[in-house]
Structure 1
């Protein structure tokens, strides 16, 4: 199995895309560190993985808190794969955007992956191998009203993907990103509603929402040795929305 003897930390993996990524990586042999705010949901993901013969453990972390990022890095220990997936998704016109929500989104979507990567990448560099996958969004490239903070933070994460690739790849650590289109996750449906999500899905070339599994497959591919010649890339998993 392609992730045998590897440890993978996946943030925001108590549900949605992150949980599907954890399941796939565990099935491929990885020891998975599941992380998120909900101990109940995280424990459920871990128990499911173990019941299916995989290896997993849960570390609770609210990544809007700097100390929580530090504690997560310490609890995870050396990792071979880091998936920066956790994010907050506020919806509001720019003129109505609450300061508290702005600060929390910047903290979770930019500061947390920055600090977590800075804490864990030295271990990868010391081994001469590793893979970091950042989860972005098609909204980082397509202007969409009402999600200015979310799209800006994800554009920043794509920029960091390129910079980190330039910094770390010569030492054997690949850094890539996946930019999903509209996906049927609890967060998307809770924020936009079924009708709103369907409207955005209708603008894609395939005309439908992605399943979390479809996005997770792209993440796992980039993390694996099958993508060994890819670094600094952002893979658009958006049903062609940014292509045409």
Structure 2
């Protein structure tokens, strides 16, 4: 066949139409960016968040995505480190999305909620350790277990765990945080084997992202993170970057953090039907550092 007449099937822009995703930590930052990415592909969403201070943010995000992409978005406040709260989340989701035929399916689970704070060796307290392990490890386990009965049985499900480049590069004072994210990456590989006939399970490992969590860090912390910018191919600042990014790059000695939508794009890719042959992987989303 002549090349000029070859027809290439276009990837549908709403490739996730009819699917339902649960996103933890969805009210702000990377979680909100992931919600926007999946909604743009036609996915209905359960926007999970923990604190009453995020009630208005989550409601506004749900309204925004419904208006812009005509998808159903239900914000549900629940603490994913609590089995009772995870059960309540599923009950609320079923009430909102269960069809008249009583069918209810969760197609995508994004374990994004997490905590991260610095504590160098010599100052690590048991409560610091337990907070990180409970939120970053137990939380994804309990949420995924609550979703488990409702995952597909045809390999079409998608689970994405949000890890961190910190589990790889060994940043000072991140011992407990890195340990929790390393544990999540190990869990990813186990779940990929356990859920092979139901869902792919992958993790992403972003570095700094231009979100509230990053911007509220001290300048010293930002400079510490910026040590790796010279060897990160995509971190160089150019004319297309925002003025905020350019100013911050000057303050930290060059290089930039990711935009939230850049990292969310990697998650969206892993949730696509085309990614059914990728599982048990830690997919780099850090500008090429790893």
Q: Give yes or no for TM over 0.5.
A: yes
Is residue 39 from structure 1 mapped to residue 66 from structure 2 by the alignment?
A: no
Unaligned runs of 5+ in 2: 1-13, 95-104, 236-254
Partner of 2:176: 149
Is residue 201 from structure 1 mapped to residue 214 from structure 2 by the alignment?
A: no
Partner of 2:76: 59
Contact 2:156–2:273, Cα closer than 8 Å, also in 1: no
Partner of 1:71: 88
Q: Which has the higher strand share?
A: 1
Name the CA shift for 1:182/1:30 in 2 (closer, same or farther; >3 Å): same
How far does the alpha carbon of each residue in 1:66-97 deviate from its partner, in whole angstroms, 9 at most, with x for none?
42233223333431000000001121113212
Partner of 2:188: 161
Q: Matched residues in 1 for 2:19 and 2:223: separation? A: 38
Residue among 37, 43, 48 paired with 1:30: 43
Tell me the matched-pair count: 240
TM-score scaled by length of structure 2: 0.78
Is residue 178 from structure 1 mapped to residue 204 from structure 2 by the alignment?
A: yes
Q: Matched residues in 2 for 1:64 and 1:94: separation? A: 26
Contact 2:120–2:175, Cα closer than 8 Å, also in 1: yes
Q: Matched residues in 2 for 1:100 and 1:161: separation? A: 25
Name the CA shift for 1:114/1:91 in 2 (closer, same or farther; >3 Å): same
Partner of 1:17: 30
* CA drift at 1:220: 0.7
Partner of 2:250: none
Q: Matched residues in 2 for 1:227 and 1:127: separation? A: 14
Contact 1:130–1:173, Cα closer than 8 Å, also in 2: yes
Q: Matched residues in 2 for 1:43 and 1:165: separation? A: 33
Unaligned runs of 5+ in 1: none
**Larger displacement relative to structure 2 (53-62 or 97-106):** 97-106
Q: Matched residues in 2 for 1:194 and 1:2: separation? A: 41
Q: Matched residues in 2 for 1:64 and 1:162: separation? A: 21
* CA drift at 1:128: 4.8
Partner of 1:189: 215
Q: Secondary structure at the match of 2:218?
A: helix
Residue among 123, 128, 133 paired with 2:160: 133
Is residue 120 from structure 1 mapped to residue 168 from structure 2 by the alignment?
A: no
Contact 2:132–2:176, Cα closer than 8 Å, also in 1: yes
Partner of 2:262: 214
Question: RMSD over aligned Cα, in angstroms?
Answer: 1.7
**Larger displacement relative to structure 2 (209-218 or 57-66):** 57-66
Name the CA shift for 1:30/1:125 in 2 (closer, same or farther; >3 Å): closer
